[in-house]
Structure 1
């Protein structure tokens, strides 16, 4: 893992986006990262019915999700809002 990209142990469910939102920090810049419910369901192989389940799946697959986010940050695959959106 690239030590210039840090992932604090912070995450929350965004009801509007239907995604877990988590921060990354690169060279002092804060980057908002999102991983949607469908990606979490794909990773876990199960349906997610509640925000709590989504956060639990995120925590269970945190390392894999952070690796995907790191790759997108390094490749500068930001959306128009400057966010990283994990797709799979």
Structure 2
């Protein structure tokens, strides 16, 4: 695990994108990260992840999500808005 990338414990549901939003910090830069319900379902082996269960499921697979996000950050795989998106 790269010690220069740190993840906060804060989570939020993004209604506009229908994704869980979380944050990473690298060298003082805040990076918005998003994970979709499809990826949450895949990682947790759960069939239906909806808004009501998304944050709970995120916590169950947090380590896996952070590992995937860290790899994308290291690869500089940012979207047009400078975010990391796992979907």
Q: TM-score higher than 0.5 here? A: yes
Moved segments of 4+, more than 4 Å: none
Question: What is the CA-CA distance between 1:37 and the residue it aligns to?
Answer: 0.8
Q: Normalising by structure 1, what TM-score?
A: 0.93
Residue 85 (structure 2) aligns with: 85
Shift of 1:42: 1.2
1:64-83 matched pairs, under 5 angstroms: 64-83=64-83
2:48 matched to 1:45? no
CA RMSD in angstroms comes to 0.9
Q: Which runs of 5+ in 2 are unaligned?
A: none
Deviations for 1:37-73, whole angstroms, at most 9, x for unmatched residues?
1111111222123x23100010110000000000000
How many pairs align? 86
